Amino acid sequence: MIHPTTRVLAAELPGHVGESVEISGWLHRRRALKSVTFLVIRDRSGLAQVVATGAGPDLPEETVLRIRGTVTANPQAPAGVELTSPTVEVLSSLAEAPPVGLFRPAVEAALPVILDGAPVTLRHPRLSALHRITAASVAGFRATLDGLDFTEIQTPKVVSSATESGANVFALDWFGRPAYLAQSPQFFKQAMVGVFERVYETGPVFRAEPHDTARHLGQYTSLDAELGFITDHREVMAVLREVAAGMVASVAERAGAAVDLLEVKLPEVPAEIPQLHFAEAMRLLGVDEPDLAPAHERWLSEWALREHGSEFLFVVGYPMRKRPFYTHPEPGRPECSNSFDLLFRGLELVTGGQRLHRHEDYLAALAARGEPVRPYEGYLRSFAHGMPPHGGFALGLERWTARLTGTDNIRRTTLFPRDLHRLTP
């Protein structure tokens, strides 16, 4: 039984006009006028205004307070109510003033200041709002896949060989043996298709990216899904479409206040997201490189918006040589793959596709790339014992929130980012 508390949240005050109530929170802002002092209190639900006659308590912002007072209607106050005749109790005092004014409407500090002071700066409503949107997004991801009969899994983050992309792994000492941080749950989620058919995982992945850019981090949260008994990659894309729609709906439902505060324009996810074959994209772009540069992604996104009214675009059929060895080729066009990227507002957000599923195809694919079989032995076991046609995708959570909110750097959508230069706080 949760013991009843007498505490009322800021957002609940309009329902208590005329009552004596207790609120708790941080002193967000103190403004002393000639005859009254306003105390704005911040709690997890929002802000509450408290009015004390005279000078009121002289406390620095961020002091933690418990306040008893009378809820009084005042059309001028935020949400139409304020607390009057307050009795103020200090729960925690400050040892230091915050590095940024948390009460200011905008975050007036450079990124390093924000990141160095994260335990405090994240309290700024505009910064915490980003992470409420992240929490709502991941809830939407899970709810959508739960509804489609997926099973959640947890897989190892420490692996014995640096497979997958080969480079950019973090090395580790595991009880005296060399080991590596997992770059993705790819091999594990495929194996688990053999057990549950449909699986997802939401967890950290690690890339020793030597790039100091606004979109690369050493650790990020990967939202991974994989499903079996598909015909080809198009069923994976159909599931991803549902997931994107579910994530947007969850943000609207669970993080509405954050969306409003940040003035985020949530996208429409079309019932059928438009798609373009890679070869056709090359033709439209007038290039013949085997890769999409960031400028190409932006151009294609604009094209999709103009031609199809969609902020999302699937590019399918990437060249096999640009995709990992487990990628399934396009039937009748073996230089192309049954894979896709999902572009959203000018940026690649999701990569996915159909995988090989026959043991002999894996052996042939590794041989064709001149790769030894031995490091993949554990992985290949699933396929030796019968695996259905399957595919999946991976979505970077911090990138998603950044793109959704128009945030320029994923360090702002990561609680405590880890990169080339940053290991603290």
Residues 210-239 that bind a second copy (CB under 8 A): 210, 218-219, 221, 229, 234-235, 238-239
Least Å distance, CB 299 to a second copy, is: 27
- What is the rounded distance in angstroms from the CA atom of residue 180 to the CA atom of residue 157? 8
* DSSP string covering 1-61: -PPP--B--GGGGGGGTTSEEEEEEEEEEEEE-SSEEEEEEEETTEEEEEEEETT-----T
**Residue in this structure with the two tokens 């950290």, named with its chain if needed:** 204
Which residue among 128, 163, 327, 338 contacts a second copy (CB under 8 A)?
A: 128
Angle (CA) 173-186-222 rounded to 5° is: 85
Helix axes 294-308, 278-285, angle to 10 degrees: 100
- The answer to whether 374 contacts a second copy (rule: CB under 8 A) is no
List phi, psi (to 5°) of 198. Answer: -130, 120
Least Å distance, CB 122 to a second copy, is: 5
Which residue among 103, 278, 344, 379 contacts a second copy (CB under 8 A)?
A: 379
Which residue among 312, 344, 383, 393 contacts a second copy (CB under 8 A)?
A: 383
Nearest to a second copy of 173, 288 (CB atom): 173
Site for a second copy in 142-181 (CB under 8 A): 142, 146, 148-149, 151-160, 170-175, 177, 179, 181
3-state class percentages of the chain: helix first, strand second, coil last, to nearest 5 = 35, 30, 40
- Tokens of residue 41, six digits: 């209190």
- What is the rounded distance in angstroms from the CA atom of residue 283 to the CA atom of residue 265? 32
Q: Which stretch binds a second copy (CB under 8 A): 49-57, 138-146, 261-269, 294-302?
A: 138-146
Q: Which stretch binds a second copy (CB under 8 A): 137-145, 277-285, 293-301, 335-343?
A: 137-145
Q: Which stretch binds a second copy (CB under 8 A): 73-81, 134-142, 291-299, 306-314?
A: 134-142
Which residue among 7, 265, 283, 333 contacts a second copy (CB under 8 A)?
A: 7
Q: Do strands 81-92 and 46-53 pair parallel, antiparallel, or not at all (unpaired)?
A: parallel
Least Å distance, CB 388 to a second copy, is: 5
